[in-house]
Structure formats: structure tokens, C-alpha cells
Amino acid sequence: MHNLSNRSAYRAICLALLIVLPAAVIVTAALWRHDPALGEGERRLEAGDTGGALESANTFLARHPGNGRAQSLKARALADLGRWEDADQIFSQIGVQTPEEIQAWATVLVNRQRWTDALPLLARLLELNPNDPFALRHVTTCRFQAGQAGAALESAARLAKIRGHEIEGFFLSGVIYRAQGNTHLAIENWAGIEALQPDAEGLPIAPAEFFLIYGEDLLTEGTPATALAKLRRSQSLEETVEVLLRLGEACAITGNEAEAVAAWTQAIEHDPNNQEARNGLAELALGRSDGDEALRWLAPAASSLDVSSATAYLMERAHTLLGNENDLVYWQRRTAALRKSERLEAALKRRFRRGL
């Protein structure tokens, strides 16, 4: 009888739970699905009306403080509005479960540059969908910023294999390779972008900047003629001091002195104190054995305390050519001192990067 009684009590409890629990679920679901403010808020968020979604969430929370789904809606709306700190605070309190919530919080953390905090969320998205472009894009950025360059290149390569996202993958790979000093592999990715998008539209950077970077890397790799075409393309889109400097360099290397002079002279018109352009023009003048013209280009540096060893050496060569003994001795000494100082500074920077 005792066992029978226990079994009867157990059945009664189970029946009660079968009745009560579904009822609770139904009530909660009804509260979520049928409340006009919250339902409308979800529809507004999906339609891109972020301000309206936030208003709906606040209205619902005024009547139901602490409701998790309403807080989630509010946090996602705040994220869409770029209110990263406010959204982060709510997500930190309520956590995230759905892919939409995970993606929103990951976006918040990336924009707050909390790279390592964003990585676990992005990993969850990739578990749900290994080919999620959003997750691959941002996990690449976070890995790179967290010092995980190898892993970043792996996810960038995966992104490049997804139809419609090839350019994104090439761009991220190129940026990482360039940061590593591997301009050869960076160029391969720039070429991939150009093949798919010849005008370089739709990149995170302007087309003019893309062709400037492309040209710079080609110069670094010792292909100035190819670089020249990219740099001219950049100049045609936007003429900046930087592109004029690189144009002058490429033209000088390829023997196109007239165009080099024109590019560096234009750079000085934009920036009268630009020493790189003045050094380039002085170098060309010295190549023609014209010491006086070289000194005219270098004149602003003669009285400056902020002179590089490269400029000082050009001054030394000009005075050697002109036979100015006193000035020659002065610039010889200054060149030697500046080179020593620059070597020491470079060594200190290397040690700092290594954390020594």
C-alpha cells in the first residue's frame, strides 16, 4: 500500500507539471508574441526602423521590467544605432542565445575593439554556419588584432572562397600580408581584387587609395614599370601628395626624368616643406652634376634641426661637387652623426617590438 501511495503521488505531481508547465510556456509565449508593443518592435527592427524598435522595447519594459526578450530587442536596437556601450551593458547582463543576439553582441564588441572578447561569440556563429560571411569577416579582424595572424589568414582565405565575398577575402588577406611585410603575397591579393573589380569600387578604402597601395607594393617588389600604371590610375582618381611622391619615385627609377620632376614639383606645390620630394629633385640635379640646383631644392633643410641622414648626405654630395670645403666638412660630420643616431633609434624600436 505504501508503494502504491507513493506511485499515486508521483503520478499526481507529473500530471500537475504537465498541466502547469505548458500553461506557463503558453502564457510566456503569448506575452511575447501577442503584445502589440513587442511584436511591433520586432517587425520594426527587421524592417530597419531601429528607432521605432527601441521605442517599442522601452514601452514594453515600462510595463514588464526585466523581461529578457524585451531587453534583447532593446540591446539589438541600440547596437544598430551604434550605441555600443549601452548595448554591451545589456548583453552582459542577459547573455545571448539566438544567432541574431550573438551577431549583435559580436558587432558591439568589435566596434568597441574588444577583439578577444568578440572571438568566442564569432566562434559560436561559425559552429552554427562555418561559411557565415559576417563571422568570417569579423573573426579575421579580431584574430589579426589579437596577434593571431596565421589564424586570420586562414579565415580570410575561407571568406575568399565564398561566392560574392571573394573580394572581401582578398582584401583582408592583402592587408595582413602587407602588415607582415610580405608585399609579394599582398600583390597577389590586390591582383585578385582588380581581376574581379577593375575599378576597385566597393572596398573598405577608396579606389584611389587601393591603386596607391598596389603601386607602392609593386615598387617595393622591384617592378616600377607596372607600379607606374597603378600610380597613374590612382592620380587620375585623386591627386594627393603621397601618390605624387610615389609617381616621382617610379618615374625616376624607370628613367622618365621629366615626369619625375613634374610629379615631385607638384608635391612641393601641395606641401612646400615636403623633404622627400625635395630630396628626389636634388638627386636628379646631382645626376646632372648640377650642385647649385641641388642646393636650391635642399635649402629649407640647411637651417633645420630636423634633418635626415639622407638629406644630409645629399648636401654633402652637392658641396663636394661644388668644391665648398668648409660646408663639405660640416655636412660630412652631420651625416655621420645622423646615421649613428638613426641606427640607434632603429635598434631601440626593434627591441621594443620584441618586448625586450
Q: Is residue 251 part of a domain?
A: yes
- What distance in Å separates the CA atoms of residue 57 and residue 65, rounded to the nearest whole number? 10
* 190 neighbors 217 (Cβ within 8 angstroms): yes
Question: CA-CA-CA-CA torsion for 36, 41, 42, 44, nearest 10 degrees?
Answer: 120
Q: How far is CA 65 from CA 37, 105, 230, in A?
A: 14, 21, 59
Q: Is residue 159 part of a domain?
A: no
What is the span of the domain harbouring residue 266?
206-278
pLDDT, residue 304, reads 79
Q: Is residue 266 part of a domain?
A: yes
Q: Is residue 356 part of a domain?
A: yes
Please state the domain count of the chain. Answer: 2
Q: Does residue 219 sit in helix, strand or coil? A: helix
Last residue of a domain, one of 278, 307, 335: 278
- What distance in Å separates the CA atoms of residue 320 and residue 314, rounded to the nearest whole number? 10
pLDDT(6) > 50: no
Q: Are residues 211 and 274 in the same domain?
A: yes
Last residue of a domain, one of 278, 304, 334: 278
If pLDDT is split at 50, 70 and 90, which confidence band does 14 have? Answer: very low
Looking up residue 267, the CATH number of its domain turns out to be 1.25.40.10
pLDDT, residue 354, reads 61
Instruction: State the CB neighbour count (10 A cutoff) for residue 276.
Output: 21
Mean pLDDT of 230-237: 97
Q: Is residue 1 part of a domain?
A: no
Q: Is residue 195 part of a domain?
A: no
If pLDDT is split at 50, 70 and 90, which confidence band does 133 have? Answer: very high
- What distance in Å separates the CA atoms of residue 356 and residue 353, rounded to the nearest whole number? 8
Q: Is residue 271 part of a domain?
A: yes
If pLDDT is split at 50, 70 and 90, which confidence band does 9 have? Answer: very low
Q: Which residues of 161-179 are buried (b: 16+ CB within 10 A; e: fewer)?
A: eeeebbbbbbbbbbbbbbe
* 214 neighbors 194 (Cβ within 8 angstroms): yes
Q: Is residue 352 part of a domain?
A: yes
pLDDT, residue 353, reads 63
Last residue of a domain, one of 217, 251, 278: 278
pLDDT, residue 302, reads 81
- What distance in Å separates the CA atoms of residue 30 and residue 301, rounded to the nearest whole number? 77
* 314 neighbors 279 (Cβ within 8 angstroms): yes
pLDDT(25) > 80: no
